[in-house]
Chain A
Amino acid sequence: MTTIIFWVFVLLTVVSAFNVVHSHNLIYAALSLLLTLFGVAVLYIFLWADFLAGVQIIIYIGGILILLLFGIMLTHKIISIQITQLNMQRGAAGASALGILVILLWMIFKTPWFTMAALEPQGTVREIGILLLSDYLLPFEVASVLLLAALIGAAMLSRKTE
């Protein structure tokens, strides 16, 4: 049963990711991105990352995707012009992307991966919280400064200059 659910969500993720890069309508691409992000969140749950799955849904779907939709709607005239766009250089890009995929797959199946049987954690929120405020305190604070800088930078950039 879990195997079937796993493969269903893998298929959902891959097909909608293909639609993200291939759809001619940008709104459809954004909505496919929603499905992709949701499928990846489900895969996170298969990887025992319950907190990260929640973060994925809240930040990616609730934040970034909404920002992208805002961006699409602010930069296109929804009523008058179709939100379409064509892909350029499909042949060369497709060939090089396929080349990269083949190299990656060859690498993945050739490498003797070091695997360690891990124990299933009893929820990761507590441990992540402790780690963030002990071992990873400095990156945590730097991330807060980064977010502040991004906030100020975004406000500065989109402000009207007279």
Chain B
Amino acid sequence: MDILQNYLVVAAILFVLGIYGVMTRRNGIAVLMGIELILNAANLNFLAFAKFGGMNLSGHIFALFVTIMAAAEAAVALAIIINLYNHFRTINVDEAGQLKQ
């Protein structure tokens, strides 16, 4: 179990599921969930290479910054989605092409 490839395969599956979610979902919040999956896959890769690839704690720092960025991104994206909902009464990303009427 303790080999690099196992973690890479798990991260690849998470990444592909995230891509699938972003492509198929039409609800803005569900698209955001797909993006969170992709970011988690990237983090898992960083930490796998930190343990097995000699990246050591730099990998941890990178994963930390990815987490910070994800928090900022979620806050702004949800503000945009709620704004969108107040304007158009929908958060379907196909129907909403602009933020103002």
Q: B-contacting residues of A (Cβ < 8 Å)?
A: 2-3, 6-7, 10, 13-14, 17-18, 20-21, 26, 29-30, 33, 36-37, 40, 43-44, 46-49, 51-52, 55-56, 59-60, 63-64, 67-68, 70-72, 74-75, 85-90, 92-94, 96-98, 100-101, 104-105, 108-109, 113-116, 118, 121, 124, 127-128, 131-132, 136, 139, 143, 146-147, 149-151, 153-155, 157-158
Contact = CB atoms under 8 A, between A and B. Distances in A.
Contact of B74 (A20, A46, A64): A64
A93 B24 contact: yes
A118 B78 contact: no
A6 B67 CA distance: 23
Contacts of B61: 128, 131-132, 136, 139
Nearest first, the 6 closest Cβ-Cβ pairs linking A and B are A21-B21, A150-B72, A116-B54, A93-B23, A157-B79, A87-B24
Nearest to A120: B51
A49 B32 contact: no
B81 A71 contact: yes
Interface of B: 1-2, 4-10, 12-21, 23-27, 29-30, 32-34, 36-37, 40, 43-44, 47-48, 50-54, 56-58, 60-61, 63-65, 67-76, 78-83, 85, 91, 94
Nearest to A18: B17
A18 B15 CA distance: 11
A131 B27 CA distance: 40
A49 B72 contact: no
A55 B67 contact: yes
B10 A75 contact: no
